[in-house]
Structure 1
Amino acid sequence: MKHKVVFAALLAAMGLSTSAFADNLLEVMDTDGGFKTMLAAIKKAGLEDQFKSAGPMTVFAPTDFAFQAMPKDKLDKLMNDKEALKKVLLLHVINAKVTKADVDAGKVKTMEGENVSLSVNEGIKIDNVPVVGQGINADNGVIHAMTAVLLPKS
């Protein structure tokens, strides 16, 4: 414990913060502030370790507005079904770091196991859901904000 305090004091003296060294996908989403529902869902599904892992991963993360756009009864049911929630969350993640510049049209397999369609004609879309913003980098991947929640086809 004493070493951690000394290290934090040294960082502060150099004008650095300890948070500069802690920017995995979960921490970046938390810092951003627009993914509170996504973070709550990740915790409810017990997937924190997966989102903190070495990666690289790409998370197509629905914004809080995307979750709020779902019918309340459907969102409540999803948030209270751990297995269904895991499937939905992993449908938004691929096992590679894909920046906007890297995106090619076609199919890509998600960590849930289902293929999703990427299109780039009028901005990037995942299964016809627009990706907004430029993407947010983390140590273990990248986060792209989405305007809707993807649901499994089956």
Structure 2
Amino acid sequence: MKKILALTILAISFSSVAFADTLLETAQQDGSFKTFLKAVKVAGLEGALNDKGPITLFAPNDAAFAKLPKAKLSALMANSDELKKVLSYHVYPGKITQADVSAGKVKSLEGADLQLSVTDGVKVNNVKVVGDEINADNGVIHTVSAVLMPKS
């Protein structure tokens, strides 16, 4: 009887352990960021999106990447340094929820400013944020309708 009780307590202990979902894991679970996730891997940015945060990710979904000319997307995927620069431009090292967002500039992980606006919905550099924010344990994902390109 003691052995069964001990095993039951052990099983309950393991079942109550919560596993944290990072931005990267959350984006994988969402299913609409396949191209973005492939690009993150090519650029070697998995660590940045798995970091403890908080992090705000303005993530282009697959439809946003489909708007890029195929030659441009292929060139980016073939140049990991340029790809890293573009993807880092989509990351803000802090947490901005849709309720907290206000018009103004924030500095991206890449180093250039992102212009936020709240006129006619939330926008980043005049690119519309679509859908609801997606929360992760280390930050928040805002889906953007186009790939943001830093100025060269």
Counterpart position of 1:3: none
Describe the superposition over 1:64-100 as per-residue Cα deviations: whole angstroms up to 9, x where unpaired.
0000110000000001100000000000000111100
Measured in 2, the distance between the counterparts of 1:83 and 1:99 equals: 29
Q: Which structure has the larger Rg over C-alpha atoms?
A: 2
Measured in 2, the distance between the counterparts of 1:143 and 1:120 equals: 17
Counterpart position of 2:78: 80
2:95 matches 1:94: no
Q: Once the 2 structures are TM-superposed, how far is the Cα of residue 36 of structure 1 from its aligned partner? A: 0.6
Structure 1 residue ranges, 4+ long, deviating more than 4 angstroms after superposition: 11-14
What TM-score, normalized by structure 2, do the two folds share?
0.89
Measured in 1, the distance between the counterparts of 2:101 and 2:108 equals: 15
Identity over aligned pairs, percent? 54
Which amino acid is 1:10 matched to? A
Counterpart position of 2:112: 114
Counterpart position of 2:43: 45
Measured in 2, the distance between the counterparts of 1:135 and 1:12 equals: 32
> Which of 29, 32, 35 does residue 31 from structure 1 map onto?
29
Secondary structure of 1:26's aligned partner: helix
Measured in 2, the distance between the counterparts of 1:40 and 1:130 equals: 23
Matches within 5 A, 1:106-145: 106-145=104-143
Residues paired across the two proteins, number? 144
Q: Once the 2 structures are TM-superposed, how far is the Cα of residue 137 of structure 1 from its aligned partner? A: 0.5
Counterpart position of 2:11: 10
Q: Once the 2 structures are TM-superposed, how far is the Cα of residue 11 of structure 1 from its aligned partner? A: 6.5
Counterpart position of 2:59: 61
Measured in 2, the distance between the counterparts of 1:51 and 1:144 equals: 14
Q: Once the 2 structures are TM-superposed, how far is the Cα of residue 152 of structure 1 from its aligned partner? A: 1.2
Gaps of 5+ in 2: 1-6
Q: Once the 2 structures are TM-superposed, how far is the Cα of residue 153 of structure 1 from its aligned partner? A: 1.1
Which amino acid is 1:49 matched to? G
What TM-score, normalized by structure 1, do the two folds share?
0.88
Measured in 2, the distance between the counterparts of 1:59 and 1:11 equals: 35
Gaps of 5+ in 1: 1-5
